[in-house]
Amino acid sequence: MTAAPAAGRAPFGARLAAAMDDHGPLCVGIDPHAGLLDAWGLTDDAAGLREFGLRVVEAVGGRVAAVKPQAAFFERHGSRGVAALEEVVAAATAAGTLVVMDAKRGDIGSTMSAYAEAFLRDGSPLAADALTVSPYLGFGSLDPAVELARATGRGLFVLCLTSNPEGHEVQHARTLDAGATVAARMAAHAAALNADAETLGSIGLVVGATIGDAAARTGTDLAAVNGPLLAPGVGAQGAGARELAEVFGTARRQVLASSSRGVLRAGPDVAALRSAARTASDEAAAALRG
């Protein structure tokens, strides 16, 4: 049995599994890019970001498994944008909704430790329930984030098989020592960290919902990861029930489907956003758990 974290918080994987059972396997992205801000009648500045983020939380907080702020859209407005992000994280946390910070951090040594402290340390104003990270300086470079996540009951989503067309250059490549693909090695590392988890482990993967049979072609055993699989690309980007079945197969119950544009384009009306999120959650549940 995995020991409880020092903070007394249940491990992220267990909390996420419960949230998906209660609300459905949907994560709503909070992506205030310039086009959406304009469509919502909001200014492209820190005030607009704050209003956008808080409105999404008002609509879906306590009604979906998780929200996923994209840090870059806030960071581009400097310290005031980051302050807006802090408010959005606090509001989602107060609503009882898990927060996955989409920041895709990856570095080595003390720098990776600093990133981990920013997003995973108790008391940090940016602390989320989980953080997206990049392992392409070697999976071991993530050790400071792994250790802090485990100590505080938080989690990680490690980039593994992404849907961008450039991703295969690295992720599908085979290593010289073992002959396995890089993606398969990343998944195996995550599986090892989740080996003792009784529900879902807390070290998950990012696997694009539109990658087709890439997991099979790269020998990546997603079911063996025993952790959550964050799947961007559901809904507006084209992934439905058939695509999800092809990508995830027997690992479908581990999937946290992420929808951004598919829900956000229903805004700015809170009721319309809430309805779009409910529809997306029901569709994800039917595709992944039906």
Task: Just list the catalytic residues.
Answer: 104
Secondary structure of 82-148 in HEC code, one letter for each residue: HHHHHHHHHHHHHCCCEEEEEEEECCCHHHHHHHHHHHHCCCCCCCCCEEEECCCCCHHHHHHHHHH
Q: How many angstroms from the chain centroid is the CA of residue 149?
A: 14
CA–CA distance from 80 to each of 84, 92, 137, 287 (Å)?
Answer: 6, 19, 31, 39
Neighbours of 164 (CB within 10 A): 9
Q: Which residues of 128-163 are buried (b: 16+ CB within 10 A; e: fewer)?
A: bbbbbbbbeeebebbebbbebbbebbbbbbbbbbbb
Please choose, from the candidates 211, 191, 171, the residue with its C-alpha nearest in 3D space to the C-alpha of residue 254. 191
For the record, the structure tokens of 202 come out as 């807390």
Classified as helix, coil or strand, 21 is helix
Structure tokens at 29: 């992205």
Side chain identity, residue 253: R
Q: In residues, how long is the chain? A: 290
